[in-house]
Amino acid sequence: GGSAHEGAAATPADTRTERQVPDCTGLEARERRRAKGQAALRTELERALKPATSGSTAEPRGAEAQTASGRFPAGFPETEAEWGPGAWPSEGGEAAGARATEHRQPRPTHFVALMVTDPGLQARVAKAQEALVRVAPSCTAFLVPAGALHLTLALLRLTGPGGVAAAVGALRRALSTPGLQAPPQLTFRSLLLLGQHVLCAPPSPSLQAMAQVLSQRLEAEGLIVVGPQGGLHPHLTLAKVPHGSQVGLPQPGFSPTQELGSQALGKLWLCRIGRAGDTYQPLAELPLG
């Protein structure tokens, strides 16, 4: 990761043997424009996320903290961006074959998710997205609609006519068994940029342990669970640029301490991969506990 630095090559203006001094004014101007763009995005996002009333300004910790360089912290892999719903290309084709070889896992057909339904959280996410678009209008097409905001907890490959019914039964048993480590509510305190592909917000507390237990229980029920090595790191995606796209999300270099909002963790959805318009249609809504 990281930005490539351009070098200015010195070219003699004539045939004299006198050594020429490189003209770096072009490079300096580009660097100043880049810094100005980063500062503008930081200002826009901090203004968008500024709370109406004074609240907690504690710095986010651990995997929730955005580093000053705009990179994601250790333990929150960039490849996570490729494992969300809709990230896999269509079956067949060179890209699909390359990705299947890389991950050595089947393409998921369904996912288990916590959907974002809290109006306050949806509104704050929309403000952050608007701030991003003001600075980078080309990112408009890659924003996640309010009705599709979610956190993926498990990726499944369901086959056969009874696959969905079997998954619903397995999920019901997995969610009703004690020890799932599901917190009653999640808070989103920071934004992370994964490479130049995904702008997201990790939850507090983390859902990684819950996702791991859930996947283990679903596997024990005989379901095909797919995902990256080390398990999923559930996060709320605000914008996602497909790999291979000529457009990239700008490096913001920001660390807003204001909270985006909170979401209660009361039920999970089983959905088919692929949006229906601006949302996902749940095949089942299952309560926790």
Give the pLDDT band of residue 32 (cuts 50, 70, 90): low
Q: What is the mean pLDDT of residues 126-140?
A: 89
Mean pLDDT of the chain: 74
Q: How many of the other CB atoms lie within 10 Å of CB of 31? A: 13
pLDDT at residue 109, as a whole number:
94
Higher pLDDT, 252 or 122: 122
pLDDT at residue 19, as a whole number:
45
State the Cα–Cα distance between residues 191 and 170, nearest whole angstrom: 34
**Model confidence pLDDT, tens digit, residues 44-85:** 565 555 543 333 333 333 333 333 333 444 445 444 444 544
Give the pLDDT band of residue 36 (cuts 50, 70, 90): low
DSSP state of 59: P
Residue 49 CA, chain-centre distance (Å), reads 18
pLDDT at residue 212, as a whole number:
95
pLDDT surpasses 90 at 119: yes
Q: How many of the other CB atoms lie within 10 Å of CB of 287? A: 10
The continuous run of DSSP H or E covering 153 comes out as strand 150-157
pLDDT at residue 88, as a whole number:
43
Name all domains of the chain by residue range, CATH numbers in brackets. 106-288 (3.90.1140.10)
pLDDT at residue 169, as a whole number:
97
Alpha-carbon distances, residue 50 vs 65, 81, 137, 173, 189 (angstroms): 17, 27, 22, 42, 12
Contact between 214 and 153 (Cβ < 8 Å): yes
Higher pLDDT, 111 or 250: 111
Higher pLDDT, 289 or 257: 289
**Model confidence pLDDT, tens digit, residues 163-217:** 999 999 999 999 999 999 899 999 998 888 887 789 999 999 999 999 999 999 9
Stretch among 29-43, 229-243, 247-261 having the lowest mean pLDDT: 29-43
pLDDT surpasses 50 at 22: no
